[in-house]
Amino acid sequence: MDKLLKATHEGELVIGESLLNCYVLEDGKRVISGSAVFRAFGRTKRGRKKDEVRVLNMPSFIDANNLQPFINEELRGVLKQIDYLDIKGKPNSGYEAVIIPLLCDVYLQARQEKVLKSAQLPLAQASEILVRSLSKIGIMALVDEATGYQYDRENDELQKILKRYISEELLPWKKRFPDEFYREIFRLNNWYFTTPEINKAGRPGIIGTWTKKFIYQPLPKGVLQALLQRTSRNEKGKLKHKLHQNLTREEGIDHLNKQIVSVVTLMNVSDNWKQFEKLWNKKFGQQELFNDETASMIEPKKIEDKGTIELSDFNVKLKKGLSFNPKKKE
């Protein structure tokens, strides 16, 4: 006998006035208890009567002979009862949660074809109520919410992504960003460019913010935040290492390189910075750029008593840099 899977999460799914016991098993399968399936349709478990035309080896909630033509292969695939252990380790049985909307389809189709018996009409009415709030995908989401599995699922998915992207060890420094990346930034902003200008000492601070937005932000959700958390800072609050040194050699660095190529390509076909941003937003979507710390550096300040706007020091320097014309003589 195979070992029974144990439920890792459990809860009660509220549908109308019914509370349906639902579970998520160790293998991620969403399950509705057998008794809950009957409650969903306002029924109680019963035995088979001798004078009823029933189909053997079918659950009693769907074994009526007049319902058989409406049972498709998808429903047949989930009619097998699942035995499992609940959170406390007590044996229980039920069915895959998706069985609920599939059963609704059977009763609604049978009613449409006018083959239901009078005793079955309430089941069609119950199906109509259920189907308004359920779907094959929606039932899983509702079970996840009721059991709290959605939070563990999201965290598990994030951890899987971070494991693929974030390196356990700090990679040795290697130049990842080509000169062309910085050359294009200078060109699109009409800044004077020489190769020494792209060195860290001569590089405008805004370039670091732009690099996070246009290069790192499009990586899978959570990766940039993890990189910032993993990268230590010096006494002045500046990063001691490059963010890419915390990426994995395979998937992390590979995605970074592809993102750099994509961004440089958009820069190459742009005539100015505004046009590049428009193209980037079209391709990658508007992303959240600033946190509270960087926002306070960049956003202008309003002087209430004078009713005027004062540029931050950052914006003063940026405005000066943007207005610089190397061809104009002092």
Q: pLDDT tens across 76-117, in order?
A: 999 999 999 998 899 999 999 989 889 999 999 999 999 999
Reply yes or no on whether the pLDDT at 29 is more than 70. yes
Largest alpha-carbon pair distance within the chain? Answer: 106
Confidence category of residue 208, pLDDT binned at 50, 70, 90: confident
Confidence category of residue 327, pLDDT binned at 50, 70, 90: low
pLDDT at residue 321, as a whole number:
58
| Helices (H), ranges, the chain | 34-40, 73-76, 99-112, 121-133, 138-147, 149-165, 179-188, 206-211, 223-230, 251-268, 273-284, 292-298, 313-322
pLDDT at residue 46, as a whole number:
54
When pLDDT is averaged across residues 248-273 and rounded to a whole number, the result is 91
pLDDT at residue 317, as a whole number:
55
Residues facing 93 on adjacent strands? 83
pLDDT at residue 47, as a whole number:
46
Higher-confidence residue: 140 or 205?
Answer: 205
DSSP assignment string, 24-52:
EETTS-EEEEHHHHHHHTT----PPPTTS
pLDDT at residue 322, as a whole number:
53
Listed range (41-55, 179-193, 283-297) with the worst mean pLDDT: 283-297
When pLDDT is averaged across residues 246-266 and rounded to a whole number, the result is 90
Contacts of 41 (CB under 8 A, 6+ apart): 61, 103, 123, 126, 127, 130
Contacts of 315 (CB under 8 A, 6+ apart): 298, 300
Reply yes or no on whether the pLDDT at 295 is more than 90. no
pLDDT at residue 5, as a whole number:
93
Query: Position 31: which residue type?
Result: V
Higher-confidence residue: 90 or 205?
Answer: 90
Confidence category of residue 291, pLDDT binned at 50, 70, 90: very low
Enter the pTM of the model. Answer: 0.46
Q: pLDDT tens across 116-170, in order?
A: 999 899 889 888 888 776 666 677 777 777 787 777 766 666 667 777 787 767 7
Q: pLDDT tens across 163-197, in order?
A: 778 776 777 778 888 889 998 999 999 887 766 65
By three-state DSSP, how is residue 84 classified?
Answer: strand
* 175: its two tokens: 């130049």
pLDDT at residue 200, as a whole number:
53
CA–CA separation, 31 and 87 (whole Å): 13
Confidence category of residue 240, pLDDT binned at 50, 70, 90: confident
Percent of all residues in the chain with a pLDDT value above 70, rounded to a whole number: 72
Average pLDDT, the chain: 78
Closest CA to 98 of 40, 154, 163, 184: 40
Pairing of strands 308-310, 301-303: antiparallel
Reply yes or no on whether the pLDDT at 233 is more than 60. yes
